[in-house]
Amino acid sequence: MKNPRDILARRAMRTRTRLKKLANGRPRLSVFRSNKYIYVQLIDDASGKTLAHASSLEADVAKSAKSTGNVVAAKAVGELIAKRAKKAGVEQVIFDRGAYIFHGRVKALADAARDNGLQF
C-alpha cells in the first residue's frame, strides 16, 4: 500500500506536467496549503526562478483575517499575489492547484487573484 504523501505527490506531478505542456511560456501560480497557512508563488519554469510569493504568514494578512488557515485569509493572499505579480510585470499566469481539489481555500485564492487582475 502506498503512503498518502506519495499519492499526493504523484497527483501533484500529474497536474504540474499537464500544466507545463499548456503554459506556452506563462508563469505558473503554484499553491500549497497546510492546516494553518496557505502559500502561493509565481514561478517562471523557463528560468526556474520565483517571480513573486505571498502567504498567510505575512503580517498584513494575519491582521486582516481572524485565522490564517481559512477562506478569508486565502482571499487576502490572492489579492496580495495579484498585486505583486502586476508589480513584477505579469498579467497572465497558469494556475497550479497541485494535488488539491479546486474548492474552498484554493478556489477563494484563485477567485481573489482573478478579481484583482490576474488572468488564467
Average pLDDT over residues 48-53: 96
Average pLDDT over residues 89-116: 96
pLDDT of 57 strictly over 90:
yes
Residue with cell 499548456: 22
**Burial status of residue 119 (CB atoms within 10 A of its CB: 0-12, 13-18, 19 or more):** exposed
Domains present along the chain, CATH in parentheses: 4-115 (3.30.420.100)
Whole-model pTM over 0.85: yes
Please list, residue by residue across 42-65, b when 16 or more beta carbons sit within 10 angstroms of its beta carbon and e when fewer do.
bbebeeeeebbbbbbeeeebbeeb
Tens of pLDDT, residue by residue over 25-34, are: 899 999 999 9
Q: What is the mean pLDDT of the chain?
A: 94
Three-class SS state of 30: strand
H or E stretch covering 109: helix 105-115
